[in-house]
């Protein structure tokens, strides 16, 4: 008979041997009065259920309360294998492996014995976003792993009738040291499951860490080199039909009439879109006239009702509105230090610059898709999602089924980048399944993925700086005009300050006595969302370009100028110096080459990048190299951090060189990759990454590599050409890609 | 009935439309999902397969063009899925991030394997793994 044991304990009782880090890391992880509960069940193995109370920033912004229910699990198999189940997802960032690495460390097992899978969603599940998987769950997961280890050791001591102090765990085996008797974790699991989890698990001391900080091979990679990795788009279920969706060409429009079902196509009205259902993906896409050059000869003619307001969804109009709001909009103050207005009047010199940023697409390699099997009593969903808990809620609202009747399988994600937090494609798939009463896989044609993204918002930002005679910044006024992601979702009041729109513009590391940062909400209705690094993706460009402009005005080397402004900020200074050294800042450049530098903090992580370019003209440039230094606190897997910096740099590079989407009559200018150029092999710089490792609490890795790239590139480009790029992207006329 | 030779196996399949791109026949009808849909217009390369040893973008190649030719997909690179030198190097250097484009990348690299450094590959990787892809191709040449 399975024994069951429940214990609840406050998370604040967690302690750690390494006293120097315990305080700061506990602060990171104990958000509110969270309680963790352990349940161990003896069912031929062992499963520790526990609650990871951390919420990613998106969940917090949505008003989600911290979870108190079980949402994560550590399982020990009879063969002593370890499975870590976590409610997040693997979208390429490697954190599912990184989290398993923490558990493997505390359980003292070989890495080859560990698996990592997505946990089934609970009512409040983790949302993958905000570069938070490791930094939010680092200490709780280590604690859970340590609890399991102590229970296994206790079980062995009980079996042998010896003191715990005579037993040690290693490599999946507990040994009674004096007699050399051994038992495997798998053999001990049933007895361990009957024990009370310790109230105060003892973490492995820093000096004994064997896996944390090592570049272990990621668990998801082997199946990504042979086609066996299953992404959402690869799901196949029995008797499944295939759907593709086409939205109204104009935002705000709806379907006016339904075509008749014919030629094996069933149509489904989705309100602002229509779905074609067929026996295969190609036929469904062809029916709507998308999915390829020969997409069914244009597909059916659809009748759309397009409201007059669609004409207002227009980028030229938006730019004019932004300029008006910049000049005379009613600002909300996000940060005020000292009296910048007064200080500006007495400054020895001033400088003002205005920067503009376009809408950007996520452009995940895997288009949006979702597979649904709906019956009268159950709903099973397979989806590449960053928010499995929300998927459950979405399906419940449409089907009327209780949450407990809805099973969500989180597949691998072919990129997420913030787009796969959203629920639009999930809701469509569930609606189609409900309408046609068949298992169905919905796949968005690439044209729809670009045409109906939830875009990185457009921005107009202005900075005015005042310098004294010694080039110190005595006044700084920054105004940011942009639509608010949070207000558009109703998560904050319309017009209220959106902290994600002003992030990286506030809390600057530089010495400046008087500073104000204002936010003005732009009324544009284009759907906007969370794009890798969110507000940092534009604010850091503004700040780090403008610092460079001030350095130029002062006639001081921009690295030296930053060093002076950061004199009292040792963390930033160390990262800046490391990047400058790695990028050879003080070394001679070949003819025609130029360097730029930038630094920023995002998601708790400080990154500095030095970009070297060559062949810069008014219409193009070649990025030769990028040197990146990063301080993200304690590093779990340095190779994963390096990969994220490399990826962030490439992502940032594509976006500033070419990325832009404009709107006319509510229609996006981009429908496919041929008009949305991304860095390819021939464009690649050599990227070098230096990690400044330390034992501070882990901070984010997925996003912080992006922000400094743009301004470092712009600063290099200015040095090469005298052209200061204040309106993004650099080269809109070069933003096409052809085949081959 | 359409007869296709995929990874040395003969598949007799019913194709609803002779213009149907090879990509969708491979994925939806044959059921090999390692070959990916990315753009449908031969730009991104996620759908790359080998046709008689040449890298081709299958998203816009009608299935009828592939009849009578040897088609190799990512599933056919090695029997165990990890032992081809390119696969070994890809794992050793931890190339993939999200991994979605990597089937196409490996197939593009396979066309000229062994040899070269992949600098001629024009496939798209949004995760930005190009530097590791290049290094892995160079490493695979030595394995």
Report the phi/psi class of residue B34: left, alpha or beta, with left for phi > 0 and alpha for psi in -120 to 50. Answer: alpha
CB A559 within 8 A of CB A585: yes
Report the phi/psi class of residue A459: left, alpha or beta, with left for phi > 0 and alpha for psi in -120 to 50. Answer: beta
The answer, yes or no, to whether residue A542 has pLDDT greater than 50, is yes
Q: How confident is the model at residue A55 (pLDDT cuts 50, 70, 90)?
A: confident
Average pLDDT value for residue range A208-214: 95
Q: How confident is the model at residue A37 (pLDDT cuts 50, 70, 90)?
A: very low
Same domain, A384 and A405: yes
Q: Which residues of A touch B28 (CB under 8 A)?
A: 242, 280-282
Q: Which residues of A touch B95 (CB under 8 A)?
A: 221, 225
Average pLDDT value for residue range A378-394: 93
Shortest alpha-carbon distance between residue B120 and chain A (Å) = 7
CB A424 within 8 A of CB A452: yes
CATH number of the domain residue A617 falls in: 3.30.365.10
The answer, yes or no, to whether residue A249 has pLDDT greater than 60, is yes
Of residues A30 and A288, more confidently modeled? A288
- What pLDDT is attached to residue A199? 81
Nearest CA in chain B to A278: B16
Give the up-direction half-sphere exposure of residue A153: CA atoms within 13 A in the CB hemisphere: 23
- What pLDDT is attached to residue A7? 29
Average pLDDT value for residue range A385-400: 93
- Please report whether residue A740 resides in a domain: no
Q: Which residue, of A195, A223, A251, is where some domain finishes? A: A223
- What pLDDT is attached to residue A60? 80
Same domain, A528 and A583: yes
- Please report whether residue A573 resides in a domain: yes
pLDDT digits (tens, 9 = 90+) for A443-456: 999 999 999 999 99
pLDDT digits (tens, 9 = 90+) for B14-61: 998 888 999 999 999 999 999 999 999 999 999 999 999 999 999 999
Of residues A545 and A15, more confidently modeled? A545
Same domain, A148 and A194: yes
Q: Which residue, of A196, A223, A250, is where some domain finishes? A: A223
Chain length of chain A: 740
The answer, yes or no, to whether residue A404 has pLDDT greater than 60, is yes
Nearest to A292 among B21, B94, B102 (CB): B21
Average pLDDT value for residue range A624-638: 97
Q: Which residues of A touch B29 (CB under 8 A)?
A: 280
- What pLDDT is attached to residue A299? 61
Token duo for residue A54:
């951390």
CB within 8 Å: A225 and B129: no
Q: How confident is the model at residue A124 (pLDDT cuts 50, 70, 90)?
A: low
Q: What is A336-373 written as a DSSP string?
A: EES-HHHHHHH-SEEEEEEEEE-BB----SSPPEEEEE
Q: How confident is the model at residue A122 (pLDDT cuts 50, 70, 90)?
A: low
- Please report whether residue A598 resides in a domain: yes
Cα three-residue angle A702-A708-A710, rounded to 5 degrees: 110
Q: Which residues between 41 and 70 in chain B have a beta carbon less than 8 angstroms from any beta carbon of chain A? A: 41-44, 46, 57, 59-60, 62
- Please report whether residue A530 resides in a domain: yes
Q: What is A127-163 written as a DSSP string?
A: ---TT-HHHHHHHHHHHHHHHHHHHHHHHHHHHHT--
- What pLDDT is attached to residue A10? 27
Q: How buried is A569 (Cβ within 10 angstroms: 0-12 exposed, 13-18 middle, 19+ buried)?
A: middle
Which secondary-structure segment (H or E) carries A257? strand A254-257
For chain B, what is the radius of gyration of the CA atoms? 15
Q: How much is the mean pLDDT over chain B?
A: 97
- What pLDDT is attached to residue A346? 95
- Return the SS3 of A10: strand
The answer, yes or no, to whether residue A38 has pLDDT greater than 80, is no
DSSP strands (E only) in A43-155: 46-50, 72-76, 82-86, 114-118
* Residue of A225, A296, A447 for testing the chain B interface, max B β-carbons within 10 Å: A225
Q: Which residues of A touch B109 (CB under 8 A)?
A: none
Q: Which of A581, A582, A617, A577 is nearest to A599 (CA)?
A: A577
Query: CA A95, CA A93: separation in Å to the nearest integer?
Result: 6
CB within 8 Å: A282 and B59: no
Query: CA A41, CA A362: separation in Å to the nearest integer?
Result: 43
Same domain, A256 and A211: no
Same domain, A16 and A128: yes
Same domain, A183 and A321: no
- What pLDDT is attached to residue A35? 38
- Please report whether residue A449 resides in a domain: no
Nearest to A739 among B28, B42, B87 (CB): B42
The answer, yes or no, to whether residue A23 has pLDDT greater than 60, is no
Same domain, A403 and A258: yes
- What pLDDT is attached to residue A72? 83
CB A272 within 8 A of CB A247: yes
CB within 8 Å: A282 and B21: yes
pLDDT digits (tens, 9 = 90+) for A301-348: 799 999 999 999 999 999 999 999 999 999 999 999 999 999 999 999
Same domain, A300 and A322: no
* Residue of A101, A224, A659 for testing the chain B interface, max B β-carbons within 10 Å: A224
Q: Which residues of A touch B34 (CB under 8 A)?
A: 226-228
- What pLDDT is attached to residue A200? 83
Upstream peptide bond of A729 is cis (omega within 30 degrees of 0): yes
- Please report whether residue A450 resides in a domain: no
The answer, yes or no, to whether residue A20 has pLDDT greater than 50, is no
State the total domains in chain A. 3
Same domain, A153 and A285: no
Q: Residue A599's domain spans which residues?
A: 315-360+455-734
The answer, yes or no, to whether residue A713 has pLDDT greater than 90, is yes
Q: Which of A364, A447, A246 is nearest to B41 (CA)?
A: A447
CB within 8 Å: B19 and A294: yes
Please name the residue that has the structure tokens 């973008």: B57
CB A211 within 8 A of CB A105: yes
- What pLDDT is attached to residue A87? 80
Of residues A4 and A254, more confidently modeled? A254
Domains and CATH numbers, chain B: 2-76 (3.10.20.30), 85-140 (1.10.150.120)
pLDDT cut 70: percent of chain A above it: 91
Of residues A194 and A174, more confidently modeled? A174
Q: Which residue, of A443, A474, A499, is where some domain finishes? A: A443
| DSSP label of A684 | P
- Please report whether residue A739 resides in a domain: no
Shortest alpha-carbon distance between residue A583 and chain B (Å) = 17
Burial A574-602 (b: 16+ CB within 10 A, else e): bbbbbbbebbebeeeeeeebbbbbbbbbb
Same domain, A142 and A287: no
Same domain, A612 and A717: yes
CB within 8 Å: A413 and B37: no
Average pLDDT value for residue range A399-421: 94
The answer, yes or no, to whether residue A396 has pLDDT greater than 90, is yes
- Please report whether residue A343 resides in a domain: yes
CB within 8 Å: B94 and A281: no
Structure ipTM: 0.98
- What pLDDT is attached to residue A36? 42
| DSSP label of B7 | T
The answer, yes or no, to whether residue A25 has pLDDT greater than 50, is no
- What pLDDT is attached to residue A652? 98
Token duo for residue A102:
């923490």
Same domain, A387 and A525: no
CB within 8 Å: A366 and B31: no
Q: How much is the mean pLDDT over chain A?
A: 90
Shortest alpha-carbon distance between residue B66 and chain A (Å) = 17
CB A131 within 8 A of CB A707: no
A45-49, A435-439, A440-444, A715-719: range with lowest mean pLDDT: A45-49
CB within 8 Å: B134 and A681: yes
- What pLDDT is attached to residue A42? 39
- What pLDDT is attached to residue A729? 98
* Residue of B50, B98, B105 for testing the chain A interface, max A β-carbons within 10 Å: B98
Nearest CA in chain A to B92: A217
The answer, yes or no, to whether residue A12 has pLDDT greater than 90, is no
- What pLDDT is attached to residue A86? 84
Query: CA A617, CA A612: separation in Å to the nearest integer?
Result: 14
């Amino acid at each position: 008979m399975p024994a069951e044991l429940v214990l609840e304990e406050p998370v604040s009782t967690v302690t750690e041997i390494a006293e120097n880090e315990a305080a700061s890391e506990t602060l990171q992880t104990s958000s509110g009065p969270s309680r963790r509960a352990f349940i161990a069940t003896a069912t031929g193995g062992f499963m520790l259920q526990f609650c990871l109370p951390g919420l990613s920033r998106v969940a917090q912004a949505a008003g989600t309360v911290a979870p108190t229910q079980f949402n994560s699990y550590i399982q020990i198999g009879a063969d002593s294998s370890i499975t870590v189940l976590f409610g997040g997802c693997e979208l390429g960032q490697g954190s599912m492996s990184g989290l398993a690495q923490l558990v493997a460390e505390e359980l003292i097992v070989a890495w080859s014995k560990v698996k990592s899978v997505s946990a089934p969603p609970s009512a409040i599940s983790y949302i993958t976003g905000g570069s938070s998987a490791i930094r939010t769950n680092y200490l709780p997961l280590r604690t859970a792993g340590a609890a399991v280890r102590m229970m296994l050791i206790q079980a062995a001591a009980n079996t042998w009738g010896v003191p715990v102090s005579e037993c040690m765990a290693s490599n999946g085996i507990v040994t009674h040291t004096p007699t050399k008797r051994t038992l495997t974790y798998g053999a001990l699991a049933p007895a361990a499951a009957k024990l009370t989890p310790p109230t105060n698990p003892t973490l492995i001391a820093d000096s004994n860490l064997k896996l944390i900080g090592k570049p272990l091979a990621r668990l998801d990679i082997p199946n990504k080199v042979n086609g066996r990795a299953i992404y959402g788009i690869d799901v196949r279920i029995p008797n499944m039909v295939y759907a593709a969706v086409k939205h109204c060409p104009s935002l705000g429009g709806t379907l006016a009439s339904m075509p008749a079902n014919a030629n094996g196509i069933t149509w489904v009205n989705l309100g602002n879109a229509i779905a074609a259902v067929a026996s295969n993906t190609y036929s469904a896409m062809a029916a709507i006239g998308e999915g390829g050059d020969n997409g069914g000869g244009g597909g059916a003619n659809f009748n759309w009702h397009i409201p007059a307001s669609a004409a207002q969804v227009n980028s030229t109009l938006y730019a004019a509105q932004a300029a008006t709001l910049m000049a005379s909009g009613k600002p909300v103050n996000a940060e005020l230090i000292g009296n910048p207005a007064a200080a500006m009047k007495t400054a020895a010199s001033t400088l003002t610059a205005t920067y503009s940023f376009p809408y950007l697409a996520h452009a995940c390699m895997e288009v949006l898709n979702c597979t649904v099997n709906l019956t009268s009593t159950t709903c099973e969903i397979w989806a590449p999602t960053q928010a499995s808990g929300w998927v459950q809620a979405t399906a419940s609202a449409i089907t009327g089924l209780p949450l407990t009747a809805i099973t969500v399988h989180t597949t691998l994600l072919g990129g997420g980048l913030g787009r796969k937090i959203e629920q639009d494609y999930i809701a469509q798939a569930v609606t189609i399944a409900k309408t046609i009463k068949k298992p169905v896989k919905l796949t968005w044609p690439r044209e729809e993925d670009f045409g109906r993204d939830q875009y990185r918002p457009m921005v107009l930002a202005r900075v005015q700086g005042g310098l004294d005679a010694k080039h110190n910044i005595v006044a700084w006024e920054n105004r940011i005009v942009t639509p608010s992601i949070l207000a558009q979702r109703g998560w904050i009041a319309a017009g209220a300050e959106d902290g994600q729109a002003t992030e990286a513009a506030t809390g600057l590391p530089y010495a400046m006595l008087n500073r104000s940062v204002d936010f003005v909400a732009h009324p544009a209705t284009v759907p906007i969302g969370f794009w890798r690094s969110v507000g940092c993706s534009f604010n850091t460009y503004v700040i780090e370009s403008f610092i460079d402009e001030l350095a130029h005005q002062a006639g001081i080397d921009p690295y030296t100028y930053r060093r002076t402004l950061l004199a009292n900020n040792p963390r930033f200074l160390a990262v800046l110096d490391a990047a400058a050294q790695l990028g050879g800042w003080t070394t001679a450049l070949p003819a025609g080459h130029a360097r730029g530098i930038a630094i920023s903090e995002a998601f708790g992580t400080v990154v500095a990048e030095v970009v070297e370019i060559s062949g810069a003209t008014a219409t193009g440039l070649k990025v030769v190299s990028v040197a990146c230094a990063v301080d993200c606190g304690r590093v779990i897997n340095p190779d994963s951090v390096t990969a994220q910096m490399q990826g962030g740099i490439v992502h940032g590079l594509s976006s500033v060189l070419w990325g832009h989407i404009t709107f006319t009559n509510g229609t996006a200018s981009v429908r496919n990759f041929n008009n949305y150029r991304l860095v390819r092999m021939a464009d690649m710089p050599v990227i070098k990454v230096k990690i400044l490792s330390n034992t501070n609490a882990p901070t984010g890795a997925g996003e912080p590599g992006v922000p400094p790239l743009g301004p470092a590139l712009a600063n290099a480009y200015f040095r090469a050409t005298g052209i200061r790029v204040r309106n993004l992207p650099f080269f809109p006329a070069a933003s096409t890609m052809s085949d081959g | 009935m359409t007869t296709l030779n995929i990874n040395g196996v003969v598949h007799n399949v019913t194709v609803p439309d002779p213009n149907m791109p090879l990509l969708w026949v491979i994925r939806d009808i044959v059921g090999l999902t390692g070959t990916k849909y990315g753009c449908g217009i031969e730009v991104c390369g996620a759908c790359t397969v080998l046709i008689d040893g040449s890298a081709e973008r299958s998203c816009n190649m009608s299935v009828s063009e592939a009849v009578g030719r040897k088609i190799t997909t990512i599933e056919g690179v090695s029997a165990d899925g990890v032992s081809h030198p390119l696969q070994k190097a890809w794992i050793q250097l931890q190339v993939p991030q999200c991994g979605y484009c990597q089937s196409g990348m490996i197939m593009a690299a396979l066309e000229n394997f062994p040899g070269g450094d992949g600098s001629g590959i024009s496939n798209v990787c949004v995760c930005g793994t190009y530097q590791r892809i290049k290094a892995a191709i160079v490493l695979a040449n030595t394995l």
